[in-house]
Amino acid sequence: MQKFFATAVTFAATIATVPAFAHVTGFEHSAGAGHPVLGIDHLLVLLAVGVVAGIVWLRRR
């Protein structure tokens, strides 16, 4: 079971660091810190992450 867990964590860390090819042009944008809130899809994902983090924080007991 330990080996499976270590493999799963390694896989998750690898996937998390690979860039998502979400842009249609295939080029990275250099908008800086404002980039995540420029598109409605980015804004919705950021809000969803905040909601999930808030729920986890409230249920941490």
- Residue 1's pLDDT is 75
Pick from 22, 27, 56: which is nearest to 40 by CA? Answer: 22
Residue of higher predicted confidence among 27 and 59: 59
- Residue 22's pLDDT is 58
- Residue 60's pLDDT is 87
User: Looking at this protein, which amino acid is placed at residue 40?
Assistant: I
**CB within 8 Å of 28: residues ≥ 6 apart:** 19
The 10s digit of each residue's pLDDT in 7-55 is 988 888 877 666 655 555 555 556 666 666 667 777 788 889 899 999 9
- Residue 52's pLDDT is 92
Q: Domain locations in the chain?
A: 2-58
Matching residue, tokens 């990275």: 28
Q: What is the rounded CA–CA span in Å between residue 37 and residue 43? A: 5
